Amino acid sequence: MSPLLAVLDGESLASPPIWLMRQAGRYLPEYRELRAKAGSFLDLCFSPDLATEVTLQPIRRFGFDAAILFSDILVIPKALGRDVRFVEGEGPRLDPIDAAGIVEVLARSRETGAVVNDLGVVIETVRRVRAALAPETALIGFCGAPWTVATYMIAGRGTSDQAPSRRFGLADPDSFARLIEALVIASTDYLVAQLEAGADAVQIFDSWAGVLSPSSFANWSLGPAARIAAGVRARVPGARIIGFPKGADRALSAYAAAMEANAIGLDWTVDLETIRRETQNRVALQGNLDPMALVTGGAALDAGIDSILAAMEGARHIFNLGHGIVPETPIAHVEQLVRRIRG
């Protein structure tokens, strides 16, 4: 069995499995070459040939224990009928959604097979990647969490504190609840399709969970994640699911319990001793190296790795970053990380 799947299923390994968020991306010259040929970022995501190659690039170079599907969290709003585009040097742009638009996307989410049919090329990428990977290398699928995806749909772009979405949820909670429900339905269908196509596990990325108040976190982050997990397992019994509510900190244990997560992702601000004590090995812990330690390399990187390994000794642990690799990360530092952990 894949080391990563063994940990997700309850084992503690002397050498933790390794994968890194955004491990396929701009820090790799082979990625940049393909990206230049693709035309646009979405063209890259929606080409099974190219997306398969990008997904496999870091596996060939570093021998990670898992590949993660190369795609984007905003393919869901696109499948729900919203205009999604990526502006070079600026990031994603959407037409901000209003209450009437929310009614439309909720109706779209309820059309049987509509979202998965629109994302058929992504599901084909999953099939191709799984066929190309060795049995011991796991394949992770993913989606963006409803709250995080909603922040882009409401603001039309990323913002520093997600104030537009927080304000929308307070001013029109009924419309906001309908948007979250549409995203729960669509995300459940999408994850089920990935698992049925060959993904061994799926991760729910809630990159903006940390900006929510406790009550909003319960309503818009924890609750929707739990509904997605239950919906997925109702259709794929035993599905392995990783939750990553970045910035949730003191709510991590409750989040993991609510969705019955196989693993919970930890950002670099989380105290490992505390979360290990709270979870008592009921869930695997994934993370939590500061991406800047990977950029820095050398003694600082070694110290960060050693500290995590010492804190997680004997635990169900998956080595990962506390967020994604940044583009300026030197390849030599990733090689250093793999040697240090496995050495």
**Cβ neighbours of residue 39 under 8 Å, at least 6 residues apart?**
none
Q: Is 200 marked active-site?
A: no
Q: Is 339 exposed, middle or buried (0-12, 13-18, 19+ CB in 10 A)?
A: exposed
First to last CA, the chain: 21
Among residues 31, 35, 130, 255, which one is catalytic?
35
Q: CA–CA separation, 233 vs 241, rounded Å?
A: 9
CA 268 to the chain's CA centroid? 16
Our answer to whether residue 130 is catalytic in this structure is: no
Given 9, 26, 127, 340, the catalytic residue: 26
- Residue 307 makes CB contacts below 8 A (sequence gap 6+) with none
Contact residues for 54 (Cβ-Cβ < 8 A; gap 6+)? 24, 31, 34, 44, 70
Residue (of 26, 14, 82, 78) closest to 57 by Cα position: 26
303 backbone dihedrals φ, ψ, rounded to 5°: -65, -40
> How far is 165 from 176, CA to CA, in rounded Å?
9
Residue 157, C-beta contacts closer than 8 angstroms, at least 6 positions apart: 90, 91, 92, 93, 94
The answer to whether the beta carbons of residues 196 and 120 sit under 8 Å apart is no
Pick the catalytic residue from 27, 31, 65, 72. 72
Active site residue 72: yes
Instruction: Give Cα separations from 118 to 82, 123, 190, 248 (angstroms).
Output: 12, 10, 10, 32
Which of these is catalytic: 22, 108, 178, 233? 22
Tell me if 207 sits within 8 A of 165, measured CB to CB: no
The reply to whether 255 belongs to the active site is no
DSSP string, 61-109: HH--SEEE----TTHHHHHTT--EEEETTTEEEEPPP-HHHHHHHHHHH
Q: Confirm whether 178 is a catalytic residue.
A: no
Q: Which of 31, 118, 130, 152 is catalytic?
A: 152
Catalytically annotated residues: 22, 26, 35, 72, 152
